Amino acid sequence: MKRISSILALGALAITGSAFAGDTIWGIDNGADMIGTFDSDAPGVFNGIGNSGITSGFVNSLEFDGNGNLYASDGVSLFSVDRGTGAGTMVGGHGLTFGGTVSDFSFDGSTMWAIGTVCGVESRLFNVDLNSGAATDMCTTDVAGACDVGLAFDGAGNLFAHDIVSDAIYMVDSGTCAARSFITLPYDSNFGQGMTSDDNGQGYHVAFNSTAFAGELYDFDAAGNYDFVGTLSPLQIAGADVEVASQSCLSLVVANLVGGDTAAFEVAGGQPGHRAVVVWGAGGTNSVFEDVNGWCATFGFDVKLKGRKIRIVGSDVFNDDGEMTILRGINEIYTGKELLFQAAERETCPGECMSDVVADTVG
């Protein structure tokens, strides 16, 4: 067992609840090149975060990877987006050769999917490599003359696409691209727009109604219900996503967290031979690490100590059963304080393998 650092002084707790009533939908106001959010219960209030700075094309396909990392496309290249500032950084080109461009992303829990289209000719599904941006052609939809600008998985694995030629949302088989008409839109849809879904399978269509010449939010579900929610504040939001909660890859159990005694941090579910780290914090904002020393992580709290070091409980290598236990002495000065803990496995980029956050009070 290799011990990396000792537990140092804690900052003040800074855990706050969300101010939103509905789902928080992330989007990009194309007219202002502004990344921001709005509440699904109040679509007319757009909270700008910052400009993407992506000036190479029409920015769309805004999508989280399920672990807090945000991505966008300008149709021909993949960009990572800083969720704190909105700034985009190019990852790499999609390498499309069929004459079309990517128009929307959707993440199914393990893979980033994209739909690309030559408007009025055909649409195709792709898998996108989040390390390089390269798009692998999977299949061509059987909707003749389609111009698809929206793509969304729901929680049950159903895949929906939006065609602005037929003004319809249809279900599509991600394995064969076979499609069936699902919802006929009650208006003329046109221009860039997007689709997304929350943890419970509630779908959202961030639409552009050409008849009313207005951006509008609709919700829909797998039963075929499609309802108007409200008018959007930006005229056009071409890429949108609800950040769906990640599915924890590791389990973390903290035992005997007592001041002056030795606590045990038991981690399971890892790859044998891979290294993992357990970190601690006391609240604050997320800490995002992208391919740092061979591992990715989006910790659910602030793990940085004075902006330089990481608060680390310990690190070890998983045994043949994918398990590890770290022992750590707990200083008596932390008695009565609430601490947050989380585990992350190396060598899992770009798909992070982490545990849920464990909150416990030192006894």
The 10s digit of each residue's pLDDT in 66-109 is: 767 899 999 999 999 998 899 999 999 999 999 999 999 999 87
Burial string for 222-236 (b: 16+ CB within 10 Å, else e) reads beeebeebeebbbeb
Q: Are 198 and 305 within one domain?
A: no
pLDDT band at 247 (very low <50, low <70, confident <90, very high): low
Identify whether 49 is part of a domain. yes
Q: What angle do CA 136, 243, 350 make, to 5 degrees?
A: 45
Report whether 258 contacts 331 (CB < 8 A): no
pLDDT value, residue 4:
23
Claim to verify: residue 102 and residue 237 sit in the same structural domain: yes
CATH code of residue 313? 2.20.130.20
Report, as an integer, the average pLDDT of 55-66: 84
Whether residues 238 and 268 share a domain: the answer is: no
Per-residue model confidence as pLDDT tens digits over 10-31: 222 222 233 345 888 999 998 8
Residue 57 has, within 13 A of its CA and on its CB side, a CA count of 17
Q: Are residues 226 and 255 in the same domain?
A: no
What is this structure's pTM?
Answer: 0.66
Provide the domain count of the chain: 2
Residues in a beta bridge with 224: none
Whether 1 is in a domain gets the answer no
**Whether residue 266 sits in one domain with residue 222:** no
Range of the domain at 95: 24-242
Q: Which of 223, 242, 261 is where one domain is finished?
A: 242
Does 157 share its domain with 228? Answer: yes
- What is the average pLDDT value for the chain, to the nearest integer? 86
Give the whole-angstrom CA distance, residue 186 versus residue 190.
13
CATH number at residue 128: 2.120.10.30
Within this chain, do residues 294 and 206 fall inside the same structural domain, yes or no?
Answer: no
Domain edge (last residue) among 176, 211, 242: 242
